[in-house]
A and B are shown apart, each in its own frame.
Chain A
């Protein structure tokens, strides 16, 4: 059974700090990796996708992928209170389904 694991948190950081969110997955055949942000009571909103080993940067966000270690991370630089949300790691094994982790709650204090 495919599993995606995340620390549920909450991860608390002060405004302006770097927040580091981590995710591990069980299926070595996984090909696509996504980070979604979910505010309470709302739907998942895509932040980033990553498909190959290494880093991918988009504004304040950097996704990192290490397929050998089956590990994906998301760094948020200059964290803002509006970044406070639950961050969902999702993995696609090459078919059409996304397997989600339970999410890590991030709290950014002013």
Chain B
């Protein structure tokens, strides 16, 4: 069964450094998403991406964040200058077509630890 994959599984970085989290969505899916979950808290939406552009973003997704689909398979989240509060699990998700009703399938996540 096709699944969303994410690399790395765990990323440790120093405050102020840039990190890139990578995702390979399910191959025939058209909508891509990033969510984060701070330890003990709920899953929070960051950004959705369709047709090579951002379709929605949350208040969390400020100027230090960016997303890109550099080729036909990868979808990346870049955090330009990490802060301690960016420490969280970051989940990539994808859905087949219209994001409104279609199920979003989640990858295994990247645990980001900012020291």
Closest-by-CB residue of B relative to A99 is: B45
Closest-by-CB residue of B relative to A51 is: B101
A69 at the binding interface (Cβ < 8 Å): no
Complex Cα–Cα for A25 and B63 (A): 30
Q: Chain B residues with Cβ under 8 A from A92's Cβ?
A: 99-101
Partner of B48 from the list A31, A42, A49, A96 (CB cut-off 8 Å) is A96
A88 at the binding interface (Cβ < 8 Å): yes
Q: Chain B residues with Cβ under 8 A from A44's Cβ?
A: 43, 91, 106
B58 at the binding interface (Cβ < 8 Å): yes
- Which of A45, A46, A49, A98 has its CB near the most chain B CB atoms (within 10 A)? A98
**Contact yes or no, B58 A103, CB < 8 A:** no
B55 at the binding interface (Cβ < 8 Å): yes
Complex Cα–Cα for A44 and B89 (A): 11
With contact pairs A44-B91, A45-B106 given, residues A96 and B33 touching in the complex (Cβ less than 8 Å): yes
Q: Chain A residues with Cβ under 8 A from B43's Cβ?
A: 44, 88, 90, 98, 100
Partner of B50 from the list A36, A45, A96 (CB cut-off 8 Å) is A96
Q: Chain A residues with Cβ under 8 A from B35's Cβ?
A: 98
A86-110 contacts to B, CB under 8 A, are 88, 90, 92, 94-103
**Contact yes or no, A34 B101, CB < 8 A:** no
Pairs A–B under 8 Å by Cβ, sample size 15: A36-B106, A42-B109, A43-B91, A44-B43, A51-B101, A90-B43, A94-B100, A96-B31, A96-B33, A96-B48, A97-B33, A97-B48, A97-B99, A98-B43, A102-B41
